[in-house]
Every structure is written in structure tokens, then in C-alpha cells.
Structure 1
Amino acid sequence: MNIWSYILKRVLLMLPTLFGVVAITFAVIQFVPGGPVEQAIMEMKTISGVSEASGGGEAHYRGRQGIDAARVEEIKALYGFDKPAGERFWQMLKGFATFDLGKSFYHHMDVWELVVSKLPVSITLGMWTFFLTYFISLPLGIAKAVREGSRFDSVTSAIVLIGYSIPGFILGVFLLVLFGGGSFVQWFPLRGLTSDDWEQLSLMGKILDYLWHITLPVTASVAGAFAVMTMLTKNTFLEEIRKQYVLTARAKGLSERTVLYKHVFRNALIPLVTGFPAAFIGAFFAGSLLIETLFSLDGLGLLSYESVVRRDYPVVMGTLYLFTLIGLIVKLIGDLCYVWADPRLQFESLNR
């Protein structure tokens, strides 16, 4: 099977997967209480109750009285709930086919524009998390594998495991309390990526201000991923170092440096390189909800959480469709990278 046949087959398999995810989520949403229609009605009742209560001595509080049936139908039509679920699902699918993700109920703007507006924050947090994780974890994992059993290995393993055992959100709270003006010192800001006077700063001032704001959230984000990648790198290199071809290379008189970087390095990096696309994209779209909420960073994680709480269904379904599609494409790219990194593999083996 050549590469193009394999890609075509995988793309055809993506379609039912994508359809299944969207269909199941849409079906579940139909049974979730407190939808946008109910929330709009409750808001109208609250406003009506407040106005009646403050209207004078003869006014009576009527906030619990029902809304006129015609008004309810208008609200349903406004949100598109005047149509059967099947028709709404079909219209949504037709929009997704042309990448029309709909319009947000709450933000009153296209979901595409909303996602794009939140991307800078998530990209900033994701890029720093990804590069720091790889650029620190790979050398550290290799050093631990080469020095297995040494004091360096034991000490770094203890530090890495302690970092892994502390959730990023808890670490973020600890950092805020310790360095963000909690009970100790205020060396770093509590929220945002820039200061209010950022536009008036010089170029170097803007860079320093940005780094000042991003230090705590990036530190909290890197902790868990850093530990996992370090131990994965160590175990992968240890597995390769113990193989027969390494013993043969050493028996031929090759130096340890040559054995490590010429023979072990490429084979050991295969699982790490193939996970590169998924880790790169995942740093932007996964695991940032709690960090963004804690540090008041208005990114995709916070947007996803707020859309679920507010029952902003176009945002929920649109972002779900977009992220699922990106995940499937990244998985395909990862498989292609696997074959590229290890030519011994064939596309037929990836289908099993």
C-alpha cells in the first residue's frame, strides 16, 4: 500500500468517527436541562421581578409568573429551537461541511471569529509549555538513562516525581500564594498576559512585561508534562541501550559517545518524534482550562468551560467539531512521521 492509498483510507475512516462524535454530543445536549431558552426565560423573569418590585407602592412582585406563550415561541425561534432536533442537526452538519461553525448565543459573533480571538492566549501558553517540555526533558532524560542508578539519577527522579504528583492547578495556586502577592511576596502579577500600560512601553519593556506575566502560568503548565516526557525519554533510551546491537557496537570498540549518538539516538527518538505533532497541537487545546481560569487568561480553555456552563451550544458543538477534526488529522500525521522516522515499517502494519 503506497502513501496516498493509506492517506485516502484514513481520511475515509475519519468521516464516520467525526460524525459519531458530533452526533452523540448533539444527542446528549438535547437532554441537558437549563438550555439557552430556559436561561433566557429565567433572565426575563428576574428582570420583570426586579422592575415590578421597584415600581411603586401598588406594584406587586410577579417574577415567578410565567412568560407569555407567544414570547416563549419567539425565544425558541431566536435560538433555532422552534425546529425539530433532526432538522437542526442536519443544518448543523451542512454548516460544518463548509466550516460554518454557527453563531454564539452569548457572544453574538461567529464561532470561527470567537475561536480566532482566543487563539493568541492559548498559543502563547501552549508554545512555551511545548518547547520548554521538549528542550529540557530530552537532554535530562538522556542524561538519566546514561547515568542510571547514579546519585544524579536518583535525585532527579525524586524531583521529577514530586513535580508530577502535584497537579498543575495546585502548583499554580501555590505559586500565586508564594510569589503573586498572597501571604509572602508579590514578584509576579496575578492575571493577564500584559500590563494595562503595555502599549506605552518600549520594545524591550514589552518583552520583559510579557515574560513577567507568563512566568507563573507556564511554570504551572510545564510541571506535569515535563515529568512525563523526562521519564518517557529515559525509559526509551534504556530500552535501546540494552539491545543486542548496542552490545555488538561496543564489542567492536566504538566509543560510548559514538554508540549513543550514532546508533541509539535515532532509534530511541522514534516514539518521541512520532508524538511530536500530537504534543505540539495538544499544548494549545488541552489541559489549559484550569490554568487559564486560575490566572485569568482569556483563551480557548476558558471559552470551552464558559460555553458549557452558559449552554452556548453553537460554541460547544463548533469547537468540538474543530478540535476533533484537528485531533484526527494530527493522529494521521503522527503515523506518517512514524514511517518517516523508521523506514522499516510499512503502512500495512499501521492499519493493524
Structure 2
Amino acid sequence: MLGYILKRLLLMIPTLLGALTITFIVIQFVPGGPVEQLMAEARATQKGGDSDAYKAGRDSDARQIAELKKLYGFDKPAHVRYVEMLGQFARFDLGKSFLQNKDVWQLIKEKLPVSISLGLWTFFISYLVSIPLGVAKAVREGTRFDVVTTMAVLVGYAIPGFVLGVLLIVLFAGGTFFEWFPLRGLTSDNWEELAWPARIADYLWHLTLPLICLVIGSFAVMTMLTKNTFVEEMRKQYVLVARAKGLSQRRVLYKHIFRNALIPLVTGFPAAFIGAFFAGSVLIETLFSLDGLGLLAYESVVRRDYPVVLGSLYLFTLIGLVVKLISDLLYVVVDPRVQFGSVGK
């Protein structure tokens, strides 16, 4: 087991390097870098003023570009910047945003509350609904309940979250018909002035529509996985033996089948739990004006804020690799028959 863990930890290094290297190389060929972005904003500001200021700003473009390149390190060759970036990341220094003049760590911490709110609720609602529904479908396999619920979850899965979001806004957020839910933000402007019961109600009121968009598509995968694993276990020999001994259906289901059927779900728990925080939908966050990690990643790519792009990529890739290792190790915990040391022998 220890050898397997060490091997996986060592394999994380080339995986991280590969992801960072490919992204860094692609960035070198993307037009319109951060220097060009800042110059374009400066020109737009000067153009809004008097003509003399605009002319002076235009004449000093070359000098300003040279100063900005030196400030952000673009006066150095690409391979030097690449080595410096790796050195920073080795110290867990994610750098500083070009455009927001903040540490990437600070930006991520500022956006985490929104992503945690969306991720936690999405994760728990998906699991609390999908697992009981999947068990019920397995027990009633082939019945009308099974067919109807399968069609319902597949239709929900087929509808893109942002399309559903637009529809919900039009219907219930003041778009055309009703104005029952707020259109933006995680809380109201006067949230801190409210009593705690009112704060909780306001928070849930703002979350309702975004959560519907995020959750509705996640039911299908988890529900069908639960159903298929339970059906597979119910057809195994030990279940037939347990029933032949006169055990009730309920006792067979929850004492024998449940423990074995939950192995794929339990081992996927860490990845689903962490992924819910960092895999938020950019379109949903943009649609409902929720300033989370998804929107941060999108804006950093659009505005060519490379430290945020590469720092976020490094952090999320590292978290994903660690969580994947934990998920694999959980197989040994929940199923002692799995022995990584015996693989290949």
C-alpha cells in the first residue's frame, strides 16, 4: 500500500508539469495579452477625455508598453518565465493578478463563499435525492414507476443548465411573467441588517433558481448508477441464498445488498464532494451574477490574466489528483478484497 501511494504521488509531478506546460505554451500564441488589454483600456479612457490627452497617450504607447512588459516580466524570454513560474508554484506561491493587483490566493478566497454555497447544496441535494430514487428504481425495475422516473431524469439531464436558467429567469425572476425570485447575487443588499431567520430565508431565496439549474442535470448519472449497481447486486448468488433462507426483502436489501452496492458511490464521494466546489458552471454564475470561482476563471481567460489562469489551474489540478488518490484508497477501506500491492503479480 505504501509503495502504491508513493508511486501515485510521484506520478502527480509529471501530470502537473504536463498540464502547466501545455497551458503555458498555448498562452504564448494567444493574441491580446495583458499588456495589450491594459493599453486598450488606457486608450479608451483617454479617448473619453479631451483630444490633447488622447494624442499624448497615443504618442507614449511605445514607452508605456515597454514599462508594462518590464513590470509584468514579459521582457524576459518565455523559458525564463516558465522556470520562474515553476519555482513559485513549488513554494505554493500562485503569483499576483495583473489586472486586479491582488494575490491569486486572495482572489480564490474571496470567490470561495459563492462556490462553497453552490457546491455544498448541489452535492447534498443530488445525493439525498438520487440514491433513494435509484434504490426505489432498482426494487421496482421494469415497472411504470421505473420507466416514468427514468424519462424524467433523462429529460432533466438533456436540458442544458443555462437554457433552463434563462427559462426560469423569464418565468420567475422578473423576465416576463413573475418576479418571485431575485436575479442577482447570493444575498440582498440589506442582508446584514436582517435578523438571522430572515438572513437564512433570504440566502435560500437567492439560491433557489441557480441550484435548480445546477442540480437538475446531476440527478440522471447518480440515479442510474445507483439503480444499476443495486440491480447487479440483487442478481448475485448470495442474494438468492439469503432469500432462500427466508430473510425478508427489506432485510436482504439493507443488510446485504446495500453495503456492497454502495461501494462505487462511496469511493466516488471525495471526488464528487470536492468537484462540486470547483466545477461550478460559468454560465450559471454569469447568468445569475454570482461571483464565484467559475466566473473568476472565465474572466481571467477573457482578460488574459495569466497568473490567475495558471495559478488556478495548478491548484485545481493538484486538488483533483489528491482527491483521485483518496478515492482509490477508499476502495481498500470499503472492500478489503482490493489489494493494490498484488496488482500485476
Per the TM superposition, whether the score is higher than 0.5 is yes
Given that 2:115 and 2:280 are in contact with CA atoms closer than 8 Å, whether structure 1 keeps it comes out as no
Q: What amino acid is aligned across from residue 157 of structure 1 in structure 2?
A: T
Q: State the match for 1:197 in structure 2.
A: 190
- Deviation readout 1:293-320 (Å, 9 max, x if unpaired): 1110000000000000000000000000
Q: Are 1:34 and 2:27 counterparts?
A: no
2:316 pairs with one of 304, 320, 323: 323
Q: CA deviation at 1:107?
A: 1.0
Take 2:256 and 2:225, find their aligned partners in 1: how far apart are those partners? 19
Matches within 5 A, 1:113-132: 113-132=106-125
1:10 pairs with one of 8, 11, 17: 8
Given that 1:50 and 1:63 are in contact with CA atoms closer than 8 Å, whether structure 2 keeps it comes out as no
Q: CA deviation at 1:30?
A: 0.6
Flag the 1:196–1:49 CA change in 2: closer, same or farther, 3 A.
closer
Q: State the match for 1:286 in structure 2.
A: 279
| Structure 1: runs of 5 or more not aligned | none
2:62 pairs with one of 64, 69, 78: 69
Q: What amino acid is aligned across from residue 28 of structure 2 in structure 1?
A: Q
Q: CA deviation at 1:153?
A: 1.1
Q: State the match for 1:43 in structure 2.
A: 41
Matches within 5 A, 1:184-333: 184-333=177-326
Take 1:273 and 1:227, find their aligned partners in 2: how far apart are those partners? 17
Flag the 1:262–1:108 CA change in 2: closer, same or farther, 3 A.
same
Q: CA deviation at 1:70?
A: 3.1
Q: Once the two structures are aligned, what percentage of the paired residues are identical?
A: 68
Take 2:56 and 2:293, find their aligned partners in 1: how far apart are those partners? 36
Take 1:64 and 1:97, find their aligned partners in 2: how far apart are those partners? 40
1:139 pairs with one of 107, 124, 132: 132
SS in 1 for 2:218: helix
Given that 1:45 and 1:67 are in contact with CA atoms closer than 8 Å, whether structure 2 keeps it comes out as no
SS in 2 for 1:224: coil
Take 1:222 and 1:40, find their aligned partners in 2: how far apart are those partners? 38
2:89 pairs with one of 96, 102, 115: 96
1:347 pairs with one of 304, 328, 340: 340
- Deviation readout 1:215-254 (Å, 9 max, x if unpaired): 1111111011112111111111111111122112212222
Q: CA deviation at 1:67?
A: 4.3
Q: CA deviation at 1:346?
A: 0.5
Q: State the match for 1:85 in structure 2.
A: 78
Moved more, 17-26 or 283-292: 283-292
TM-score (norm 1): 0.94
2:161 pairs with one of 162, 165, 168: 168
**Aligned-CA RMSD value:** 1.8
| Structure 2: runs of 5 or more not aligned | none
Flag the 1:102–1:189 CA change in 2: closer, same or farther, 3 A.
same
Take 1:116 and 1:45, find their aligned partners in 2: how far apart are those partners? 32
If asked which structure has higher relative contact order (CA below 8 Å, sep 6+), I would say 2
Q: State the match for 1:110 in structure 2.
A: 103
- Deviation readout 1:136-166 (Å, 9 max, x if unpaired): 1100100000001112112211211111111
- Deviation readout 1:29-84 (Å, 9 max, x if unpaired): 0111000122223333334444453x5xxx9x759956453332111011110111
- Deviation readout 1:330-349 (Å, 9 max, x if unpaired): 00000011111111001136
Moved more, 214-223 or 340-349: 340-349
Q: What amino acid is aligned across from residue 184 of structure 1 in structure 2?
A: F
SS in 2 for 1:196: coil
Take 1:46 and 1:349, find their aligned partners in 2: how far apart are those partners? 65
Q: CA deviation at 1:12?
A: 0.6
Take 1:63 and 1:170, find their aligned partners in 2: how far apart are those partners? 47
Q: State the match for 1:178 in structure 2.
A: 171
Take 1:287 and 1:39, find their aligned partners in 2: how far apart are those partners? 27
